[in-house]
Amino acid sequence: MSKKLTKREDGYSKWYNELVVKADLAENSGVRGCMVIKPYGYAIWEKMQAELDRKFKETGHENAYFPLFIPKSFLSKEAAHVDGFAKECAVVTHYRLKNAEDGSGVVVDPDAKLEEELIVRPTSETIIWDTYRRWIESYRDLPLKINQWANVVRWEMRTRLFLRTAEFLWQEGHTAHETKNEALEEAELMLNVYAEFAEEHMAMPVIKGLKTESERFAGAEETYCIEGLMQDGKALQAGTSHFLGQNFAKAFDVKFTSKEGKREYVWATSWGVSTRLMGALIMTHSDDLGLVLPPKLAPIQVVIIPIHRNDEQLDAISVKVNEIVKELRKKGVSVKYDNRTTYKPGWKFAEYELKGVPLRIAMGPRDLENGTLEIARRDTLEKKNISQDTIVSYVEKTLEEIQNNLYNKALDYRETHITEVNTFEEFKDVLNNKAGFVSAHWDGTTATEDKIKDLTKATIRCIPLNNKIEEGKCIFTGEKSVQRVLFAKAY
Amino acid sequence: MSKKLTKREDGYSKWYNELVVKADLAENSGVRGCMVIKPYGYAIWEKMQAELDRKFKETGHENAYFPLFIPKSFLSKEAAHVDGFAKECAVVTHYRLKNAEDGSGVVVDPDAKLEEELIVRPTSETIIWDTYRRWIESYRDLPLKINQWANVVRWEMRTRLFLRTAEFLWQEGHTAHETKNEALEEAELMLNVYAEFAEEHMAMPVIKGLKTESERFAGAEETYCIEGLMQDGKALQAGTSHFLGQNFAKAFDVKFTSKEGKREYVWATSWGVSTRLMGALIMTHSDDLGLVLPPKLAPIQVVIIPIHRNDEQLDAISVKVNEIVKELRKKGVSVKYDNRTTYKPGWKFAEYELKGVPLRIAMGPRDLENGTLEIARRDTLEKKNISQDTIVSYVEKTLEEIQNNLYNKALDYRETHITEVNTFEEFKDVLNNKAGFVSAHWDGTTATEDKIKDLTKATIRCIPLNNKIEEGKCIFTGEKSVQRVLFAKAY
């Protein structure tokens, strides 16, 4: 298989699909809409998980595990929730197969029909709140702050690797609180945790905001989100945090005895990020040569490739390289020495470029003589010859520089792609010719939002949290508005 | 809810069930056969995962993720495998719900029937080997050594928390090799990894052995296992490692081009341990007061409880305790200071005993005056007053002692519960009056094995790997035998 990618300008979507497969991140499986996450892609996801998990624990959350299946009747208990989630889902109706009478294989045993169908969880609010009813008796049991790492299934008709798959991996936090304020604070806290992770680890700038009513999570009273901007000018929702009010407490009858001895419904939040972040990471930084990874999430931060004509040369180079590897590892740098003789250096160069390894070191016989080596940055493609003696500090400094450079480059792109418009003509013009976020006044109605979406495919990504109040007129209806919102075409 | 447990001698099974729930490890959910793993139980599982994952990576394995669903036809491709796994399983037949016409909730949409049913994975050999066909072309792609952490579902009729649940969490390793020998070595290597983990971390001695044909994994040519012995004299299979021969390679047509340019089927292994290990851990060490945890897997290794009559006393104690906490954490000891005033010290003592925290420190006003503290071991229930100055070294030393003591105690129990017998009468007598492993000659036939099982409920747990060859006669048929095997009643 050729490792050469379609160029972004020749087909952004094609470029993305090829990159995901060729960089060994993921591929489609024999099951419609379900992906296989390959070892290299999974290693990046593990790095994401580790950092997020650390942040969740640091903010007082514990992990637990709840069932994969949700009884059908549970979904119906919260009215808005069932409308949002009980539609396209995987339904388990039987619990046994048997041998076909004609010997052709196995068939579903009609005698093994479940009394009540089970739904493969699309999200776990219902099964978790059914459990919380048993766990919460008094204010002493609150707050209850639990996270789950799990797989979920939503029967998407059109799927794309990482961005929209029938099964995906995620974490879902579910918390219960004594007061409305405490729940709101939790929802905001977790939004900030996500934003910090996105910016500091993924090097992806995000806008924090509130969703409009029509884009809210089914069952939430308020949905907070972080929105990133991809290189093609389309927005991507990277994480959400929901203030659920008392909706699930009421649906599942979860009350607590307050300090004053009263029985009250508890207040709730839920929040999640998923393997979709992998898609966001890829599309924020990568280029026509392949993946570009921020050092903090790169499974391999430095790859070292020997350049040699014979075994003696390789042996001599290896002695020096092994010293360097040891020094780098001591500093916590993840380094790989690729001394395979089954592949040529040129092939390896292309391979690690495709896989987004932040730094590549090459060392040949002349380097060995001169005490030098060649080091190349994946982000800028810049090459330098430096002294072997300075390699450790050079690597540490440069990894930090790459991390910052990727963030700043993405921030710069984002900042130059937020366009204020005041008419619907301008609005359409920006969407068609520039893309990115469009900042515009909106009359606050779902009707207008829907019409704009029908006409332009742009949706309101969010009402930014740091919005300034500003009198204006809705670009579509001319009605009064008090603030601008961010529209964009989105993944 | 009373925290008091049924005593083991009054009902081992009842004691176990109560302990799992009362120590906050797990509980049954609203979904038949599926458990909720509670935060404290999950924290132990996370410690197991971390250590196993480290060991897998150290031995050259990478993690990946494969789909939850398996097309029905995949299961039929390997004849033995389908017999073993395609029977009691969760079958997805539809992908949509719709509102019931009578407004009573949601119903399965008959128009959304899948063309081919999907099975929720009971194990992933089939979907993984369907993928490996695309990944393996030449000897350069081998060995392929991949592990997956995942949930699986087997529709068990009689379930018990951790020991046998419809859904459980596990890891499954799936490797592909050039030669038969290499695959056999891999299967043995991973068995040793499991044994080391069981003995060094769970403090649970295990016997390494081979399964007989009838107890082999469906699709395997050889199944290696580790078997532990619980305090009630029943054995528990704690992990298995399978040599799959070329069975799955043939079923899914996975060939590689050898160094000599020939197309050959690859050789395979698979191996797994699951949340069942939690049940093994509980039953190996715990007592009538509750859980007893080996320090290496304890989420809290040391708990500190202040004894005070007023806030001034608590404040003074807290100053000293916080110093100790800091010192212990510096040494990597996981310590919790429970200064809640909503619970009395006596309640806390019982609570942490129930939860198996290895060391409990109590400090009162007199201790503060004298520079002492009281420290209690969970394993021996021994209490000591020691100087505050020596606490760090005392804790480090004692945690190690507890880890060793638990292992030695369990080993002692196991060693005194392997009984050699030479007649079927003796065999039944040991099973009924002493329990444990029974070491006996067996004629090597499945027929005899089955009959013994029918008559006594004992099964052949394994043919120990270190078995000595010894002429003898089958205790049941009197036929010739060349070695003893280990029988036991088992979980």
Which chain B residues are Cβ-neighbours of A105 within 8 angstroms? 72-73, 76, 82
In whole angstroms, give the CA distance from residue A115 to residue A124. Answer: 21
User: Measured between CB atoms, which of A86, A89, A105 is closest to B95?
Assistant: A89
Helix (H) or strand (E) holding B491: none
Are the Cβ atoms of A118 and B31 closer than 8 angstroms?
Answer: yes
So what's the pLDDT on residue A399? 98
What is the chain B residue with the closest CA to A259? B342
- pLDDT (mean) for B239-256: 97
Residue B384, beta-bridge partner list: B375
- pLDDT (mean) for A235-250: 98
Which chain A residues are Cβ-neighbours of B94 within 8 angstroms? 91, 93
Q: A418-420 and A437-441: which strand pairing?
A: parallel
Are the Cβ atoms of B30 and A87 closer than 8 angstroms?
Answer: no
User: Measured between CB atoms, which of A38, A42, A91 is closest to B95?
Assistant: A91
B277 burial (CB, 10 Å; 0-12 / 13-18 / 19+) is: buried
B299 has pLDDT over 80 = yes
Are the Cβ atoms of B67 and A35 closer than 8 angstroms?
Answer: yes
| Per-residue pLDDT tens digits for A298-328 | 999 999 999 999 999 999 999 999 999 999 9
In whole angstroms, give the CA distance from residue A35 to residue A24. Answer: 12
Pick among 3.40.1190.10, 3.40.309.10, 3.40.50.720, 3.30.930.10: CATH of B25-69+124-285: 3.30.930.10
| Per-residue pLDDT tens digits for A6-32 | 999 999 999 999 999 999 999 999 999
Q: Which of residues 90-109 of A touch B (CB under 8 A)?
A: 90-98, 105-106, 108
Q: Which of residues 109-138 of A touch B (CB under 8 A)?
A: 117-120, 127, 130-131, 134
In whole angstroms, give the CA distance from residue A385 to residue B252. Answer: 49
User: Measured between CB atoms, which of B106, B118, B155 is closest to A31?
Assistant: B118
In whole angstroms, give the CA distance from residue B16 to residue B284. Answer: 11
In whole angstroms, give the CA distance from residue B300 to residue B293. Answer: 10
- Kindly compute the dihedral angle of the four CA atoms of residues A205, A207, A213, A216, in this order, to the nearest 10 degrees: 30
Which chain B residues are Cβ-neighbours of A69 within 8 angstroms? 31, 34, 90, 167
In whole angstroms, give the CA distance from residue A375 to residue A339. Answer: 17
Which chain B residues are Cβ-neighbours of A46 within 8 angstroms? 63
- Kindly compute the dihedral angle of the four CA atoms of residues A49, A52, A53, A54, in this order, to the nearest 10 degrees: 130
Contact by Cβ (8 Å): B202, B277: yes
| Per-residue pLDDT tens digits for B28-37 | 999 999 999 9
Mutate to test the interface with A, among B1, B47, B69 (most CBs of A within 10 A): B69
On average, the pLDDT of chain A sits at 96
- Measured in degrees and rounded to the nearest 5, phi and psi for residue A410 equal -65, -35
| Per-residue pLDDT tens digits for B398-441 | 999 999 999 999 999 999 999 999 999 999 999 999 999 999 99
Are the Cβ atoms of B96 and A91 closer than 8 angstroms?
Answer: yes
Q: Which of residues 135-194 of B touch A (CB under 8 A)?
A: 140, 146, 150-151, 153, 155, 167, 169
**Token pair for B446:** 């499945």
Superfamily of domain B418-488: C-terminal domain of ProRS (3.30.110.30)
Residue B27, beta-bridge partner list: B36
A261: left (phi over 0), alpha (psi -120 to 50) or beta: left
| Per-residue pLDDT tens digits for A60-89 | 999 999 999 999 999 888 877 777 776 899
Give the list of residues 6+ apart from residue A262 with CB closer than 8 angstroms, or none.
Answer: none
Which chain B residues are Cβ-neighbours of A127 within 8 angstroms? 29-31
B79 has pLDDT over 80 = no
Task: Return residue ranges of chain B for CATH 3.30.930.10.
Answer: 25-69+124-285
Distances in Å between the Cα of B364 and the Cα atoms of B308, B310, B372 are: 6, 11, 9
Angle at B167 between CA B165 and CA B173, to 5 degrees: 110
User: Measured between CB atoms, which of B63, B92, B94 is closest to A42?
Assistant: B63
CA distance B135 to chain A (A): 10
**Token pair for A178:** 């004594």
pTM strictly above 0.90? yes
The verdict on domain A295-413 having CATH code 1.20.1250.20 is: no
Distances in Å between the Cα of B351 and the Cα atoms of B18, B287, B288, B319 are: 14, 14, 13, 24
Which chain B residues are Cβ-neighbours of A151 within 8 angstroms? 68, 150-151
Are the Cβ atoms of B29 and A66 closer than 8 angstroms?
Answer: yes
pLDDT band at A363 (very low <50, low <70, confident <90, very high): very high
Task: Return residue ranges of chain B for CATH 3.40.50.800.
Answer: 295-413
In whole angstroms, give the CA distance from residue B413 to residue B284. Answer: 10
Contact by Cβ (8 Å): A242, A232: no
Contact by Cβ (8 Å): B376, B363: no
Q: A226-230, B75-79, B380-384: which range is least confident on average?
A: B75-79
User: Measured between CB atoms, which of A68, A72, A153 is closest to B167?
Assistant: A68
In whole angstroms, give the CA distance from residue B443 to residue B428. Answer: 17
Q: Is B13 an interface residue toward A (CB < 8 Å)?
A: no
Are the Cβ atoms of B91 and A108 closer than 8 angstroms?
Answer: yes
- pLDDT (mean) for B464-491: 96
Give the list of residues 6+ apart from residue B187 with CB closer than 8 angstroms, or none.
Answer: B222, B224, B241, B242, B243, B269, B271
**Token pair for A242:** 């929901």
Task: Return residue ranges of chain A for CATH 3.30.110.30.
Answer: 418-488
